[in-house]
Amino acid sequence: MLEKRLKDESGVALVMALLGVVILSGLAVVFVGRATTETRAAAFSQNHESAIHVAEAATDQLIATIAADPDHVTKDRAGAVIELPSTLADEDAESEWALDLLRTGRIRDADLASVSDGWLGRNVEGEAYAVRPLSDELDDKGERLPADVIYAVSAVPSFDHPRAAFRVLKLQVAQAAYSPEFAFLTDGAFTFGGNAAIISPGCDPANPDSAACIANVHTNQGYTQSGSSSVVQGSISTTAATCPAGSTALLGCTPGAEEQDIPEITARANYVPDDAVLTTDSSGDVEWFDLCPNGEVITSSPNTPPCVAEHSDDVVWTSTGGNTRYRGWRFQASQNEWQANSVEAGVFYVYHADASINGSSGTGQRSVSVIVERDPSKPLQSGSLSVEGNPKMQAAMEGLLLLAEADLDLNGTATAGDCGEDQPAYSGLMYAGEQFDTQGTVELRGAIIVADLRDDHNLVKRNNASVSGTMCLEFDPDLTFDLRGQWVVTFWNELRFR
């Protein structure tokens, strides 16, 4: 009896052991399956996250292309410009349109980029394309304008992979707008002296406060003040370890300040003869003129480089080397310099030469902008601008008065009344790619930026950006300027992901 019971119990134990093995095996299968699924899901999730970075990388490349050519639009394999349909009702329709560019074979190989994304340390390969189409908006000639929108589509690991992670983006882009934070900003050192003043409208020197006294100065190197007659109606900040003991800034001087970004402003990025007619003068609309190193004055078109005439009648005047002038200008070939006396209204683009203005504009201000592009092969005879006399100029291009890719030197007796109370002699943004100096009696309203990028020309020798004499700079807090060549994203939206 006992022996039989033991045999029965051993049989039950065997059955239970076998049942346990089966259960454990089943659980193992479930766990392995779940782990495999989660691994695949994690990989897809990472691919999905990487796809957004791959798409953004494609938009970055296209924005760089637009910065070099603001009129750039994407073309398809047949060479036809891709147009944005006006019938797209919603985001789904926009997403389908952007995806169909690939499905229908319209995307060129040059626009289909392989992008390596190192997101979270993973080296993920993906594919993407970005397009900027034509809009349905028309210019004054009835031609469609480039859309200020970019569509980007990406896939990780690739578009033809059966389990690819897709993202579709829409970005609005625009020229970067710049409002100067400082009345005077320089990437080099700054010397401030004489009987100069940098003033702020509404500031009470007897009771200065940071809300009203905003004519601030910043230097990314040292600051020196010579004499005690000059005043800054705001604060001074410098990255140097110390401030001079004699600083006369109403709100003091701060040493060891954070370095400030200097906006990149180039002549070529502002070569926009079609957009330059932004102001009017007593004589009517302001016109655009290329002043060329062969002595020709050209009325250029927006589709050509500087000093390239599409038609024979685009050359409106040729300098003979004497004292004959066109709108106040003549060319001195021996100095490679365009010289003006009583400069008339206009936007004057001085190409691969120097420029100087020395004279008076008579009564009232003229709408003038002068842009001087340097020639890298002539570092001592191109890119600089000197202004003397009393020419009374306000910016003809929106915000921009004087742009010299090399040195900018202001002197003479350019006054129009009491500093800060009457209309100043000069109004607008003044920018020097190399160095800046003023020693005369000059009245300005706006802001001054000195990039101090190099020291090629030596019209102004590199030491400090120097302000002396009886200069008066009235800071204009409402001054705005489009940083042409620099584009920013103003709107970001994801249309679809899978």
Q: What is the pLDDT of residues 283-309, one digit of tens each?
A: 667 899 999 999 999 998 777 899 998
Among the listed ranges 1-5, 67-71, 110-114, 426-430, which one has the minimum average pLDDT value? 1-5
Average pLDDT of the residues in 473-493? 90
pLDDT of residue 214: 96
Let me know: does 327 contact 289? Beta carbons within 8 Å. yes
- Closest-CA residue to 398 (of 277, 490, 295): 277
Let me know: does 61 contact 67? Beta carbons within 8 Å. no
pLDDT of residue 391: 85
Both tokens of 285, joined, read 């609309």
Cβ count within 10 A of residue 378 = 16
Let me know: does 394 contact 366? Beta carbons within 8 Å. yes
Instruction: Compute the mean pLDDT over every residue in the chain, rounded to the nearest whole number.
Output: 85
Let me know: does 230 contact 193? Beta carbons within 8 Å. yes
- Closest-CA residue to 217 (of 464, 470, 481): 464
Query: What's the CA gap between 456 and 441, in Å, rounded?
Result: 27
Average pLDDT of the residues in 182-210? 92
Residue carrying structure tokens 């259960």? 23
Query: What's the CA gap between 404 and 372, in Å, rounded?
Result: 5
pLDDT of residue 123: 59
DSSP conformation class of 183: S
pLDDT of residue 289: 95
What SS3 state is found at 373?
Answer: strand
Examine the pLDDT at 38 and tell me if it is beyond 50: no
Most confident residue range from 38-42, 369-373, 493-497: 369-373
pLDDT of residue 392: 85
Let me know: does 387 contact 411? Beta carbons within 8 Å. yes
Q: Could you give the count of Cα atoms lying within 13 Å of 464 in the half-sphere of its Cβ?
A: 17
Query: What's the CA gap between 113 and 61, in Å, rounded?
Result: 10
Let me know: does 177 contact 429? Beta carbons within 8 Å. no
Cβ count within 10 A of residue 98 = 23
Question: What are the φ and ψ backbone dihedral angles of 91, each rounded to 5 degrees?
Answer: -65, -35
Let me know: does 157 contact 133? Beta carbons within 8 Å. no
DSSP conformation class of 83: B
Average pLDDT of the residues in 216-242? 92
Let me know: does 385 contact 402? Beta carbons within 8 Å. yes
DSSP conformation class of 75: B
Q: In this structure, are strands 472-475 and 441-450 parallel, antiparallel, or unpaired?
A: parallel
Among the listed ranges 18-27, 63-72, 142-151, which one has the minimum average pLDDT value? 18-27
Among the listed ranges 40-44, 78-82, 167-171, 219-223, which one has the minimum average pLDDT value? 40-44
pLDDT of residue 242: 92
User: Exposed, middle or buried: residue 442 (CB in 10 Å: 0-12, 13-18, 19+)?
Assistant: buried
Task: Express each pLDDT in 143-188 by its tens digit.
Answer: 888 999 999 999 998 999 988 899 999 999 998 889 999 999 999 9
Task: Express each pLDDT in 415-459 by its tens digit.
Answer: 656 676 666 788 899 999 999 999 888 889 999 999 999 999 999
Task: Express each pLDDT in 379-423 by its tens digit.
Answer: 999 999 999 988 888 899 989 999 999 999 998 776 656 676 666
Question: What are the φ and ψ backbone dihedral angles of 27, each rounded to 5 degrees?
Answer: -65, -40
Task: Express each pLDDT in 233-270 by its tens digit.
Answer: 999 999 999 998 878 899 999 999 999 999 989 999 89
Confidence of residue 70 (pLDDT cuts 50, 70, 90): confident
pTM here?
0.78
pLDDT of residue 330: 96
Query: What's the CA gap between 372 and 403, in Å, rounded?
Result: 6
Average pLDDT of the residues in 121-148? 83
Give the sign of the dihedral formed by CA 327, CA 330, CA 331, CA 335: negative
Let me know: does 489 contact 173? Beta carbons within 8 Å. yes
Let me know: does 351 contact 373? Beta carbons within 8 Å. yes
Q: Which residue has the higher pLDDT, 321 or 232?
A: 232
Q: Could you give the count of Cα atoms lying within 13 Å of 310 in the half-sphere of its Cβ?
A: 7
Query: What's the CA gap between 65 and 129, in Å, rounded?
Result: 13
Q: Residue 43: what residue type? A: A
Query: What's the CA gap between 152 and 169, in Å, rounded?
Result: 5
Average pLDDT of the residues in 273-280? 68
Residue carrying structure tokens 């100029």? 393
pLDDT of residue 19: 57
Question: What are the φ and ψ backbone dihedral angles of 253, each rounded to 5 degrees?
Answer: -125, 135
Question: For the chain, what percent of residues have pLDDT higher than 70?
Answer: 84
Question: For the chain, what percent of residues have pLDDT higher than 90?
Answer: 52
